[in-house]
Structure 1
Amino acid sequence: MPALPDGSHVTEGAGSHPDGFSRHFARAAGREFHYLRTGSGPVAVLLPAFPWSAGSLAPLAEALAGEFTVVVLDLPGCGNSHSLGGSPTLGDYAGGVAGNLGALGIDRCHLYGIETGAQVALEVAARHPERVARVVLDQLPLLEDSQRSELAERSCPRFDPSWDGAHIAAIWWWCREQSLFRPWYRPAAETRLDADEPPPAVLQRRAADVLRAGDGYGDGLRAAFAHSAAGSLGRLEVPWTLVTSPADPLTPPGGRNPAPGPHGTVIDLPPGPDRWSQLRALFDATGSADRSLQIPARTSAAGAIERGYLTTTSGQLLVRRTAGTGRPLVMLHASPTSSALLEPLMRELAGDRPVIALDTAGNGDSDPPPGDGPFDIGEFAAIVNEALDVLEVGELDLYGTHTGALIATDVALARPGIHRLILEGVTMFDDGDRPDLLPRAELLASYLPTFEPTWDGTHLLAAWHFRRAFTTYWPWFRRTRDGIRWVPMVELPAFHRGFVEVAKRLDTYHLPYRAALAYPTADRLPQVGVPTLIAAHPDDPLQAHSPEAAGLVPDGHWDALPDDITAVAALYEEFLTGP
């Protein structure tokens, strides 16, 4: 099996990022970092503001892509990049970025940062001038000590999860208020920003970024506010441009602008539709930056789960994998979450074999299938099979849970070389002849609400309560006595982790779900020709009919799952090592 691909060009139709972007992972100093890449020419590296992900700078990357190889980094602890841990300083972040550049083989580049990302860019340029041909500092916070202390104390409230979803509303409020007032926590006429409010889709992405960063979302902000940018700017020896704006969300009115000196210029660019193209004019394509970067080789530490992207005809799929030899175990998650929730079981099952888990197309960090749908399970299975071909997987064992179980079934029907199949929680529905089952037509009509972003964030709170209802009723929309789930409640931290994955894909979460609701389980299971274990936890709403599903498979076996994950892994391992 080849090394895990770092990622490659997104094919036409991939909808996660603008056409021409590709997503990648690499490793530096023992930590994974994530970046977007587009274009060709001299290398320009862009740093977003904390805690936003690389997608926030997609418009500027698009503007530069005609003349530059553009790399947009997720800063440590943001987006899909690992955090630095502890209480990092701005110097730690600058060192992390410099290490990332080294891992990508970038010796010298044009460097851009916005807001607190500009502080990181400034510090990289000050500490590693040999790596920077020019640095553009967009809305660099130049603050007095008292202002920095106040921002460090008040700018990053805690968003502790609560069952009522109050933290979801608070996160949306925090994201939105930053576009209205300077600082966000002091709303007044004199602190109002002169700029358009971001559209709901942008606020949704920002809220998802905060959710993904978790408790550490404020680490980078606090590090930036603890550091005086003016001192670093004064000793900068590379060409620099400071870009100011009346919409700067951090620097108060009347904030200091330095004298340009021999290396610098200061310009003002007000907000507006042409701002990204105006920023483009500040980059010099004839400068002495590298004109290429490398895709670094990656070696996996024993027991570690590494992430990467596979490119298929439907776009990029995120893959998690542990190292090992022998017949791999491929795992497919339940919708609408992602393979992140399979990581504990992956670690239990890893041993000497490789374990591979994919984010289903349209869930987690994988691109949705091209087109508007609806799609069927066979189409999702075809994407999985294509991904396994990219990984050069021959013989394998296969596991799927809930929607993933149905996709795994169709993979098994289409792919040779499957040794054993595990299906955890199998759906069966009533098509008019099984009153003991849930009616398929009702589920298709009511199970999948839409969550179009709204200016006030009520869609995100509705999504939280939608997922919350799954823990108390089955199906979630049948909120009556006969729908009550008399099972132990899921713990709040685990529930919140699952919601973070759902929030990434509110626009496409429903695509695999709808395919699962339409799947002809009773017709497909009798066609499975490999030994199959169907299992479920006692509190799984799909447990009631899973034993019946096992009886439909010619070589089917049923088992109830224990509560302890180590015991679950032992049960699965015993089955997988059978003849």
Structure 2
Amino acid sequence: MITRHMLTIPGTGRRVHYRRCGTGPALLMVHQSPRSSAEYEPLMRKWAAHFTCIAPDTPGFGQSDPLPGTPEIADFADALCETMDALGLGPCAAYGFHSGGIILVTALKRQPQRFRALAVGGYAIWNAEEMRIFGERYLPEFHPSPYGEHLAWLWNRILEQSWVFPWFDTREEARLSVAHADVARVAQAVAEMLDAGNAYRAGYGAVLRAPRDIPPVEAEVPPCLISAYDGDPLQAHIDRLGPMPAGWEARKVATPAEHQDASLAFLSAHGGDAPCPPLAEDAHEGWIALEGGLIHWKGTRGAERLVLHAPAGEMAEPEDGTLAIDAPGHGQSGDFEDPQAAVEAAALALGAEAVLWPAPPPGEPDRLYPDMTPDRFGTYLQRAWQIARAEAFFAPWYEASAAHAIPLAPAALDPHTLQRRARARIIAGDAARRWHDTLSTIMGETR
């Protein structure tokens, strides 16, 4: 099972979310921008037999706090080293894809003693003209708009990134051979961009501005394999790398599977055999591992009350001396066939004395929770957004009439508030209806 954890960096208070899976020596895995460690879940499961895979969300992505100001690549490299220190992680092997590899190479140049070996998927060496193009158009501001127009842009920007590179270059010469319309892949990347918001520009921008200098030939640094497969826009950059230190190798391969196999073989040969040490994690937020999945919680273990939220929502910050969780299938919790049993098991594991079950919202369940399954055209995003707006006007939201009007509050129509509600509804999907039915049953039993 892949487990999830929160970590607070001493001194700064910056919070870092990380995933962990497997046994054996530690392998640090750094994701590309603007993604999160979730993109590595399939690879973590494959490599879990060989390594203890540790994948943090880089600052500003996933569930990790951003860095202050306008950070540069050295700041992201140093933040990674701070995370290693806070985890209690000694020298280890590491893997990074695209911008994750750039962060790792920068960290290795600054603190080579922290790494045993690197495997990198594609390393960018942009020329001056490419840098100019990226600087002008690649990272537009990303803010929620009142009527959700930004979601149409986001869907197409993520989808078409596999059709042309860069995503805005619609010339025939910019076409990619790896074009797809994989709805699940696009929806996952869209969700991660919604997590990051405009902070994506800091992390992505630092990578694009980073100097692309491989350590000098004479440098005494751990070994590194850089490989890129056919269709990867960075495969051509293999020819731009130039001379490299002893133990460094660059290789073109045919497929993503070949890249992963070559990386695993290289890391296994150089990663050592010392077992991964126990890793630090926060005491007031985390995930309870139950049979069938994980439940995300915050608060004080052993608290008297465990507080729950309504369907299609997510947990609020718990008050002092209480606990809160994301309901099964909501927020950062996994889905479960029996939501009530999962909540009760989580309460027992957390030492909560009582569960405060909320009443389900009024309305017809079949109308309260329309289908939120991602579709080829991204229309589910607009559906969630329009419901979030309607919720500020009427209760239930689908009854647009004077008889069901509720007092208007400007804060409820703030675009950032709308985005949080729409995002929570999208994440919940079908689980919202199951949670509603569970609460209805429980309320019926307690009356």
TM over 0.5: yes
Paired residues for 1:531-550 under 5 Å: none
Q: Give the structure 2 partner of residue 315 of structure 1.
A: 293
Q: Indicate whether 1:499 and 2:431 are aligned.
A: no
SS of the equivalent of 2:15 reads strand
The equivalent position to 1:109 in structure 2, one of 73, 78, 92, is: 92
C-alpha distance in 1 between matches for 2:88 and 2:442: 50
Q: Note if 1:97 corresponds to 2:52.
A: no
- 1:238 aligned to 2:205? no
- Alignment correspondent of 1:577: none
1:449 alignment partner, SS class: coil
User: Separation in 1 of the partners of 2:18 and 2:8?
Assistant: 11
Q: State the partner residue of 1:363.
A: 330
Q: Which moved more, 1:266-275 or 1:60-69?
A: 266-275
Pairing partner for 2:58 from 75, 84, 94: 75
Shift of 1:111: 0.8
Query: What is the CA-CA distance between 1:125 and the residue it aligns to?
Result: 1.4
User: 1:311-338 CA deviation, whole Å, 9 max, x = no partner?
Assistant: 2334211111169xx9644321222121
Partners of 1:337 and 1:364 within 8 A in 2: yes
Matched residue of 2:251: which SS?
Answer: strand
Aligned pairs for 1:174-213 (under 5 A) are: 174-197=157-180, 199-213=182-196
**Whole-angstrom distance in 2 between the partners of 1:279 and 1:383:** 38
TM-fit CA distance, 1:248: 3.0
The count of aligned residue pairs is 442
Q: Is the CA contact 2:298–2:325 (under 8 Å) kept in the aligned structure 1?
A: yes
Distance in 2 (alpha carbons) for counterparts of 1:513 and 1:162: 30
Aligned-partner SS, 2:119: strand
Report the Cα distance in structure 1 between the residues aligned to 2:27 and 2:82, rounded to whole angstroms. 16
Find the counterpart in structure 1 of residue 246 from structure 2.
Answer: 262
1:465 equivalenced with 2:443 (yes/no): no
What SS does structure 2 have at the residue aligned with 1:158? Answer: coil
* Residue in 2 that maps onto 1:137: 120
The offset of 1:153, in angstroms, is 3.5
Going from structure 1 to structure 2, the CA distance change for 1:290 and 1:358 (only over 3 Å counts) comes to same
Change in Cα spacing, 1:44 to 1:254, as seen in structure 2 (3 Å) is: closer
Residue 114 of structure 1: CA displacement?
A: 0.7
Q: Which amino acid letter does the alignment assign opposite residue 295 of structure 2? A: L
Distance 2:171 2:213 in 1: 28
Give, as a single letter, the amino acid of the residue that structure 1 aligns with 2:251.
I
Partners of 1:175 and 1:472 in 2: CA distance:
32
Q: Distance in 2 between matches of 1:474 and 1:388?
A: 31
For 2:442 and 2:27, the matched residues in 1 are separated by 51
Note closer, same or farther for the CA distance 1:505–1:252 as it changes in structure 2 (3 Å cut). farther
What is the aligned partner in structure 2 of residue 227 from structure 1? 210
Aligned pairs for 1:366-405 (under 5 A) are 366-369=333-336, 371=337, 379-380=339-340, 382-394=341-353, 399=356, 404-405=357-358
97-106 or 483-492: which moved more? 483-492
Alignment partners' CA distance in 1, 2:68 and 2:300: 23
Distance, in Å, in 1 between the alignment partners of 2:303 and 2:122 is 53
2:438 paired residue number: 515
**Max Rg structure:** 1
Q: CA deviation at 1:391?
A: 2.0
Q: Which residue in the other structure is 1:45 paired with?
A: 28
| Equivalent residue for 1:452, pick from 363, 373, 380 | 373
Asked if residue 330 in structure 1 is aligned to residue 253 in structure 2, the reply is: no
**Aligned letter for 1:311?**
A
In the TM superposition, what is the alpha-carbon distance from 1:48 to its structure 2 partner?
0.6
The answer (yes or no) to whether the contact 2:28–2:95 under 8 Å persists in 1 is: yes
Letter of the aligned partner of 2:350 in structure 1?
L
**1:384-419, Cα deviation, whole Å (9 max, x unpaired):** 33222212234x6x65xxxx513xxxxxxxxxxxxx
Distance 1:508 1:499, change over 3 A: same
Q: Deviations over 1:251-276 (max 9, x none)?
A: 77796232344221111123455553
Tell me how far apart the structure 2 counterparts of residues 208 and 171 of structure 1 sit (CA, whole Å).
10
Following superposition, the deviation at residue 208 of structure 1 comes to 0.7
Shift, 1:298, TM fit = 4.1
Cα separation, partners in 2 of 1:183 and 1:209, compared to 1, 3 Å:
same
Shift of 1:233: 6.7
Checking the alignment, whether the CA contact within 8 Å between 1:183 and 1:250 is kept in structure 2 is no
Aligned-residue sequence identity (percent) comes to 23
Residues of 1 paired with 2:435 and 2:101: CA distance? 40
- C-alpha displacement at 1:186, in angstroms? 1.2
**Structure 1 residues 226, 258: CA separation in 2 closer, same or farther (over 3 Å shift)?**
same
Task: Check whether the contact 2:98–2:124 (CA below 8 A) recurs between aligned residues.
Answer: yes
When residues 249 and 450 of structure 1 are mapped into structure 2, their CA distance, relative to the original with a 3 A threshold, is: farther
Q: Would the aligned equivalents of 1:32 and 1:81 in 2 still touch at CA under 8 Å?
A: yes
Give per-residue Cα distances to partners, 1:6-57, cap 9 Å, x unaligned: xxxxxxxxxxxxxx21112222242221111111112111111012011112
Q: Distance in 2 between matches of 1:160 and 1:497?
A: 12
Distance 1:314 1:330, change over 3 A: same
Could you tell me how far apart the structure 2 residues matched to 1:468 and 1:249 are? Answer: 40
Cross-structure match for 2:271:
287
Mapped to 1, the partners of 2:417 and 2:167 lie a distance apart of 31
Q: Give distance in 1, aligned partners of 2:304 and 2:404.
A: 39
Opposite residue 338 of structure 1, the aligned amino acid is E
1:148-171 deviation per Cα after TM superposition (whole angstroms, max 9, x unaligned): 343233211122212221111111
For 2:434, give the aligned amino acid. Answer: L
1:185–1:93 distance in 2 versus 1, CA, 3 Å: same
- CA displacement 1:261-293 (0-9 Å, x = unmatched): 422111112345555344433322563364213
Distance 1:509 1:192 in 2: 40
